[in-house]
Structure 1
Amino acid sequence: MDLLFWQAKKGSDSGFRVDIASESGLFISSIGELKERLSRMRHMVRTTKALADENRIRIVGVLKGRELCVCQLIELLCLAPSTVSKHLSILKNARLIDSRKDGRWMYYRLADPGVPKIIKEALEWTIRSIAETDRFIQDSQRMEEILKIDPEILCSQQTRCGQV
């Protein structure tokens, strides 16, 4: 944003007032509004970064409409548990997925409907964009095979990657 001017002055009752104008005509008239816009920008950057990795996009794709155990995701991606955990952490930090613990099992699902509109739109766009790709079709077929395996067995034999 090219700022044409900014001016801060003491407001009557709410602290400082900031007037910022740009060539696009964007005006921000309070510190609170500026903080809100910066917060939205940071969130957008976090979401974009989270979706900038093929494995994280694959996770989002297979979570559509279901909840999966971390062992099932490890089996699908054929990655080390620590790597899958890091991917899940990044997606969760961006509020794209939610998790729950049930005993010793950790389950993941796409973010609940109560998330901000921008998150819903990002998830919908991602899923629409990959829906017809060969990789997504292969992942969906492979996940159907993985789901046939008892999670107890799957987690105890995690080295089976590709042997389902």
Structure 2
Amino acid sequence: MLMAISLSALPKYLAWALVSFFFLRSIFRALFTPLRSVPGPLLARFTRLWYLYRVWKGDFERVNIKLHRKYGPVVRITPYEYSIDDPTAIQSIYGHGTRFVKGHWYIGSSNPDFHTEDMFSGRDPKLHAVNRRKFSSLYSMSALVKMEQPVDECIKVLEQRLEELARYDIRTLSD
């Protein structure tokens, strides 16, 4: 037999159902994920709140260094994000042919036109591979050797300009 629910009580029940769903989902995620053994702050297993609090407080970088000293090279910072402090892992995470998808925070470094992705902020490994093939010849050793003289000339012009600016009295620049 179904219990009749008044319309005025419905929002309360829906709110409880929603809170229960997210609570049970975070518990399930923490206990049954394949990466459940990755150490880190207890709250980071269940929610992003730990990470958001540290970023808001402005001490995430210092705390992250302490976490790596305590737990080792791989530390959980949110239920789905990990901080990795191992130079040997860079190639397997970011290297050519990897299947890892870059984190959402790379979007902040992207072109203001969000309809295009650049080589750094692009998150899709397949699209990155296509773009990499387009530009790979520009970074070959022979192409870099050809660019050495023009780059040296630009550096000389920059040095001359900096020396000129260094001779100016700073008070005359603001007038």
What's the TM-score bracket when you normalise by the shorter of the two chains?
under 0.3
The structure with the largest helix share of the pair is 2
Indicate the structure (1 or 2) with the bigger Cα radius of gyration.
2
The structure with the largest strand share of the pair is 1
With the length of structure 2 as denominator, give the TM-score of the two structures.
0.19
More relative contact order, 1 or 2 (CA 8 Å, 6+ apart): 1
